């Protein structure tokens, strides 16, 4: 009986260790690399590369109907929609990406400030989670996580960050 208990505890410990390391690797893979050590052209080049990578990720996710993908890109506002005030309130607008794809931004304004001066034609940079929809997709999690369990997202409009 004593051996069975020890064996069970050992298995449980191994499983917990495996979960710990797996979660750590998932979290590392979702983090964008820090760029504050870069300067000048190198920083701009890295920024452009990230923007292109985000655009490619979104196009791939849409084509393959994938969801829950952390992305970073920029688009031009083609429609400003009324706020969704049911449940958690969200500011909603549609962006057209450089490849012509459109996406809906659903920005939680209970957790982050809204972009008050947003207008059709404005450029908006975003870092959030892509979810597939037949209309091009939705970006959400463009805000901080008050529980600290999710990667913080944001919107950038006219030099001001909203998170």
pLDDT tens track for 124-144: 999 999 999 999 999 999 998
Q: End-to-end distance of the chain based on CA atoms, in angstroms?
A: 55
- Residue 135's nearest CA partner among 54, 71, 53, 78 is 78
Euclidean distance between CA atoms 79 and 77, whole angstroms? 6
Pick from 3-17, 68-82, 129-143: least confident: 3-17
Q: What are phi and psi of 31, to 5 degrees?
A: -80, 135
- Report the alpha-carbon angle 156-158-161, nearest 5: 30
Q: What's the confidence (pLDDT) of residue 53?
A: 84
């Amino acid at each position: 009986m004593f051996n069975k208990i020890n064996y069970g505890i050992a298995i449980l410990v191994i499983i917990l260790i495996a979960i710990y390391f797996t979660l750590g690797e998932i979290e590392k893979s979702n983090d964008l690399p820090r760029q504050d050590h870069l300067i000048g052209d190198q920083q701009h080049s890295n920024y452009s590369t990230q923007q292109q990578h985000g655009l490619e990720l979104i196009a791939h996710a849409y084509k393959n109907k994938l969801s829950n993908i952390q992305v970073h890109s920029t688009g031009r506002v083609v429609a400003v929609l009324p706020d969704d005030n049911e449940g958690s309130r969200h500011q909603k607008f549609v962006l057209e990406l450089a490849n012509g794809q459109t996406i809906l931004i659903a920005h939680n304004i209970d957790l982050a400030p809204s972009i008050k001066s947003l207008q059709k034609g404005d450029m908006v940079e975003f870092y959030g989670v892509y979810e597939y929809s037949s209309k091009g997709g939705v970006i959400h999690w463009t805000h901080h996580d008050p529980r600290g369990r999710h990667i913080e997202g944001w919107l950038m409009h006219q030099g001001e960050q909203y998170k």
